[in-house]
Structure 1
Amino acid sequence: MSVEINRDIDKFQESVVLGLTAKQLIDSVLSVLVGGAIVLISYKKVGLTVSAYIAIPVVAPIALSGFYSFNGMSFMQMMKKRIHFMFKVKPLIYRSTENVSELKDVALEMEAEKKKTEIGTEGKSTGTETDKKDSFEKSKKKMIKVLILSTAVVIAAIGIACGCKFL
């Protein structure tokens, strides 16, 4: 009799049914049930193809939460991190200091900032840093507008498809 043992114990998964773990089984059954319910509810109004397209964005995150993992994180943990980094993390600004003249310039700027703070005036960041922050904020606002617009377009397309079926 031979018993197979995984070389990496951390990657061992105990299967419940058909080689699926309990989490994978629950999420796959849940995604099939939710997708089937959406298709059955919207089938008579918009047709089979459109109802399947409506169900996919709802079912995909449910199915991915059971099967997808990245660097040891589940799908939901990864999406929370991604959303956090998209909206709440400030950009890092790299400033090259590869030659002696640039090092001297940086040292002079630091001395000037120290003098400003000693006098009592508030030290402000250089124009390039504020430009980068402003461009980051502009691109962030633009991304939010694009997300809202694309969501509105999808909702409008679904509404038009439903409206066409009623005519």
Structure 2
Amino acid sequence: MEVKINREIRDYTESLFFGLSLRQFFFSVLAVIAAIGLYFGLRSYFGLETLSWMCILGAAPCAALGFIRYHGMTAEQLLWTFVKSELLMPRQLVFRSSNLYYEVLKGSIHKREQERMKHND
């Protein structure tokens, strides 16, 4: 008997239904419901081939929400991060160069310039 152990403990997911986590199972069911809704809602307007593609395209985003992770974030965490960074706290980052050496020695440079001015007069 072999027991699989993840190298990283944070990568562990518990399988509940058909080898899927609860999150994946929920979004899979949601995708099936979306496909069924699209089928029955649009079957009088389109042919079977077009309708099948519309069902696939309509169900794909729902299914993807349950399976895709980006930088360790789930889809809703990624969406909330996007909303916060782009809508709630937008800011324009402007580059301004700074000379730390000049800032530290500004006082002594100013004194020397004044002394030069006195000596030149």
- With the length of structure 2 as denominator, give the TM-score of the two structures: 0.65
- List 4+ stretches of structure 1 deviating above 4 A: 52-58
Which deviates more, 42-51 or 14-23? 42-51
Which deviations, in whole Å up to 9, do the C-alpha atoms of 1:26-47 show, x marking residues without a partner?
A: 2102111211221222021133
Over 3 Å counting, the alpha-carbon distance change for 1:75 and 1:97 in structure 2 is: same
Query: Which one has a larger percent helix, Structure 1 or Structure 2?
Result: 1
Unaligned runs of 5+ in 1: 108-167
The letter for the 1-side match of 2:98 is T
The answer as to 2:77 corresponding to 1:94 is no
Aligned to 2:27: 27
Of structures 1 and 2, the larger Rg is shown by: 2
- 1:14 is aligned to 14
Greater alpha carbon shift after TM alignment, 8-17 vs 50-59: 50-59
Matching residue of 1:59 = 59
SS of corresponding position for 2:43: helix
Alignment of 1:85 with 2:85, yes or no, is yes
Structure 2 residue identity aligned to 1:77: Q
Question: CA separation in 2, counterparts of 1:75 and 1:49?
Answer: 30
**Number of the residue aligned with 1:4:** 4
Matches within 5 A, 1:71-150: 71-88=71-88, 89-97=90-98
* Partner deviation per Cα, 1:67-112 (whole Å, 9 max, x = no partner): 1112222102212221332233111111123698xx68xx8xxxxx
How many residues align? The count is 103
Q: 1:60–1:76: structure 2 CA closer, same or farther, 3 Å change rule? A: farther
